[in-house]
Every structure is written in structure tokens, then in C-alpha cells.
Amino acid sequence: MGSQTPDVVGRTRDTEKIMPDIGIDDSEMSYRRGYQHGAAETFRAVERFLDPATREVLRAWIEQDVHGWRVKAMLGYPPIWRLSNLKRSKGHLR
């Protein structure tokens, strides 16, 4: 049975040789990818509980602002102006 099991480690090493680097992979970029992934997963978990306007604002924030922040890496934190506007508009409704 041992001779029939695939060599996963060997295939991984071969695959790593074939696949080119897609960019800088340092701790900052890992953090930014994780932040975007976490924001998207959190949104997916709660989107059904949100009103349509809030849902669209959050979707735009993740798809445009957070994604842009992750890819361009110019700011130290993701822009939150879109979320600030959401908070202000919700405050006027109460």
C-alpha cells in the first residue's frame, strides 16, 4: 500500500518550482490579504440581516476600498470614509 500512495511532498515541491511568484509576500501583505478575507467572510455571515442600503455600502467598501488598500499598499490602514458616511446617515434616521 505504501508504494501506491502519491508523493504529496514531491508534487508540492515540483508545483512550487512551476508556479511563479505573484508579488511581494511579506508579513504586511499577508496581513492585508487576511484583513480583506476576514471582512468578506464577516460580511457573508451577516449580510442577510442587513438592510439593502447598508449591504450595498459594505459590499462596495470591501470590493473597492479594502481591495484597493490591499493591492496598492499606499495607506497604513483601509479607508473608512464610506463607513463613516454610513454611520452619519444612520444617525439622522433615529
Q: 6-31 pLDDT, tens per residue?
A: 444 444 445 445 544 555 668 888 89
SS (H, E, C) 12-63: HHHHHHHCCCCCCCCHHHHHHHHHHHHHHHHHHHHHHHCCHHHHHHHHHHHH
Supply the pTM of this predicted model.
0.63
Q: At 91, is the pLDDT very low, low, confident or very high (cuts 50, 70, 90)?
A: low
Q: 45-83 pLDDT, tens per residue?
A: 999 999 999 999 999 999 999 999 988 877 788 888 888
Q: Return the domain boundaries, the chain.
A: 24-93
The C-alpha atoms of residue 4 and residue 7 are separated, in whole angstroms, by: 9
How much is the pLDDT for 94? 44
Closest CA to 82 of 49, 55, 58: 58
How much is the pLDDT for 57? 93
